[in-house]
A and B are shown apart, each in its own frame.
Chain A
Amino acid sequence: MTPDNGRVLEASNLRKVFGDLVAVEDVSFHIGEGETYGLLGPNGAGKTTTISMVIGLLERDGGEVVVAGNPVTTKSTTAKAAIGYVPQDIAIYPDLTARENLSFFGHLYGMGGSDLKRRIDELLEVIGLADRADDRSEEFSGGMKRRLNIGIGLLHGPRLLMLDEPTVGVDPQSRNAILESVERLSGEGMAVLYTTHYMEEAERLCDRVGIIDEGQIKAEGTRAELVSLVGQRDKVSLVTADHAQEVAEALASHPDVVEVSGNESGIDLLVSGAAAALPALLQLAAGAGASVTSVEVVEPNLEAVFLHLTGKALRD
């Protein structure tokens, strides 16, 4: 046991090579109690490879992982007792019922007897499968299977919960239920490692986000910190009834306007500090003789950050 400085997970300099492919290189991050850390990146970025090394399912080619003060290797069982792992691909026995699946993994987490029974009943409520508990899981919908998949990782009340793209292929309702339970668990003090390629989920759930691409963490921080990398440049879209050309010229003269481009229905601007500049911009437009029918301000998001860092879109 080494002191954990309130850090539930400390991963440093992780590296994994598959043949010629460096799947993960020099990946480091840490997660504290009650903190949700997101790994945001497109398919093939190295999220699953990273998480597999963190849980000790995959032999590392380099780096260290310490969970709750205990080092993680493929052989260590002490550290694993503190981790709840929810794999990207649903890993349950289809020919067993929800209850049987939970009971089976409960035993593997070292639980048993009436404690386990009580915990299973409790969890079945949490994942909304209480009324289907004794049906075989092969009869479940995709969302129900996902929820059971997650429930298994929560059985033993882990200090660290690791979810690998838990909402892929899930209906909006189940998805929302999943996100809500992650928020609640985090509120209860659980440390969460959450991987996703959905920008919205990372923004909603994560206290800090690591943007991962081609096996490397390109940037890391809170949402605000990441966004500041792009600079506070908001996108402002104006729709005008007429005089588009004149309006565009007038707006370009404003010092905060970085870029102007026209489209069929109006004008797009890139503005540093749109909130402050907006009244002046509208005035300029009116002065050019145009009547503005709609204004939309889009603040920069992680999608924009990703684009800025990698030159490509999160989803292609």
Chain B
Amino acid sequence: MRKILAIGRVNTVRFLREKSNIFFVFVFPMMIVLLTGIAFGSGFDAKVGVHVAGDEGPLATQFVTALDDLADISVIRYDDPDRMLDAVQRGYTDGGVTLPEGYDEALVSGGTAQVEFVSRPDQGALLVRELVLEVVTDQARPVTAGRFVEGTGAGSLDEASAFAAAVPETVTVKSRSAGDSLFEEFVDLGQFDLGASQQLVLFMFLISLAGSAELIQTRKLGVARRMLSTPTSSRTILLGETAGRYGVALTQGLYIMIGTLLIFQVDWGDPIGAIAIVLVFGLVGTGAAMLMGSLFSNDQQAGGLGVLIGLGLAAIGGAMAPIEIFPETMQTIAKFTPHYWAIDGFAELVRRDGTMVDILPNLGVLAGFAAVLLTVASWRLQKVLTR
């Protein structure tokens, strides 16, 4: 046991002694979390489709412009109401507004107009609906007030206001929903929450793979063989080398977790569950690193390939963009990556308030990945070392 720790410690020390590693482990991930937090979390930016039925009068145009001018909303016009609906259902837009035929007329003449708002059953859509309602009301108020003034000749301000308050009866907004909820889970997330768990998974794996270069160096330097010449079994050496990689992976994972918690107040959900994911996912990264370290004999090649594999799996597994926006086939493919299961586990903890029990399936799959990788790697390394 002491030997395993000695080997593990030397590995971790060597890794952290490399200055570029310090940057990649401690500085870079925080920068990325910060940047994605700013980019993703700078508030709500919704796309809203608008369909104007019949002839478009000046008031309808004014409505569209007013809606588009809102900071958080950009308007996409649709001539075909079906296509607008389709865009909502597919999640391309966050809501669709239909101005009824004779919208202008109704406002001017004092008739009633029903504006239709369609969205997915998301909480996010509620916000969009509120904004649409506000624009409608804002527009209707001066128009109806003006009409009142016009009609009575010289009304008092009080009378005008009283009339204005009655607007919602004149123009109503009817909502209905279409399609499945998409971003419901994201609504409660803090600005940095979404990015942080993805970055944690991405970097933990990437840093683990980078550790494979060290293992190859140890082999190339002849140190691995020399270790075998001491009264140390190859099993102990393998466990020690594994412990070393694992130490690096855990350092990375816990650092991002604790760092983002302290700096960005990221919510990681149930702490026991969150740490459990880091512990098991760390083993997956370690297994992958050991396997690479046993398959390659050139540390630079392995390092470069490690970055490719690390980024590739991260992209496929949903560590770069939310898996929810992937097409269905890609969502299925994602399930073959450990990243998916780790991120899904964090999502369960954070967005759905899950506990350890809820993420047991995720932990199980990750443990499976780790077991397979570590077994194959040990078998390979054992052979490579006594060749």
- The docked-state distance in angstroms from the alpha carbon of A87 to that of B231 is 16
- Contact status of A96 and B14, CB under 8 A, knowing A58-B386, A59-B386, A91-B223: yes
Contacts of B226 in A (CB 8 A): 85, 87, 91, 105, 152
Contact with B along A95-118 (1 / 0, CB 8 A): 110001000110111101000000
Contacts of A92 in B (CB 8 A): 221, 223
Name the contact of A85 in the complex, choosing from B14, B221, B229 (C-beta under 8 A): B229
Q: Is the CB of B14 within 8 A of A95?
A: yes
- The docked-state distance in angstroms from the alpha carbon of A93 to that of B2 is 19
- Most chain B CB neighbours (cut-off 10 Å) among A59, A90, A108: A108
- Contact status of A108 and B232, CB under 8 A, knowing A93-B10, A93-B14, A95-B14: yes
- The docked-state distance in angstroms from the alpha carbon of A94 to that of B223 is 10
A80 lies within 8 A of chain B by Cβ: yes
A181 lies within 8 A of chain B by Cβ: no
Size class of the A contact interface (CB-based, 8 Å): 20 to 34
- The docked-state distance in angstroms from the alpha carbon of A81 to that of B230 is 7
Q: Is the CB of A108 within 8 A of B227?
A: yes
Contacts of A59 in B (CB 8 A): 386
Contacts of A77 in B (CB 8 A): 231-233
Size class of the B contact interface (CB-based, 8 Å): 20 to 34
- The docked-state distance in angstroms from the alpha carbon of A89 to that of B14 is 21
Closest to A82 in B: B231
Contacts of B218 in A (CB 8 A): 93
Name the contact of A93 in the complex, choosing from B223, B233, B386 (C-beta under 8 A): B223
Contacts of A81 in B (CB 8 A): 231
Contacts between chains A and B (CB distance < 8 A), count: 76
Name the contact of B6 in the complex, choosing from A94, A107, A152 (C-beta under 8 A): A107
Contacts of A96 in B (CB 8 A): 10, 13-14
Shortest A107–chain B CB gap in Å is 4
B310-361 residues at the A interface, CB under 8 angstroms: none
A129 lies within 8 A of chain B by Cβ: no
Shortest B70–chain A CB gap in Å is 57
Q: Is the CB of A108 within 8 A of B3?
A: yes
Contacts of A104 in B (CB 8 A): 6-7, 10
B222 lies within 8 A of chain A by Cβ: yes
Contacts of B6 in A (CB 8 A): 104, 107-108
A78 lies within 8 A of chain B by Cβ: yes
B225 lies within 8 A of chain A by Cβ: yes
Shortest B300–chain A CB gap in Å is 16
Shortest A81–chain B CB gap in Å is 4
Q: Which residues of B contact A (CB under 8 A)?
A: 2-3, 6-7, 10, 13-14, 17-18, 218, 221-223, 225-234, 386
Question: Mind listing 9 A-B residue pairs with CB under 8 Å?
Answer: A75-B233, A77-B231, A80-B231, A85-B230, A87-B226, A93-B218, A93-B223, A107-B6, A152-B226
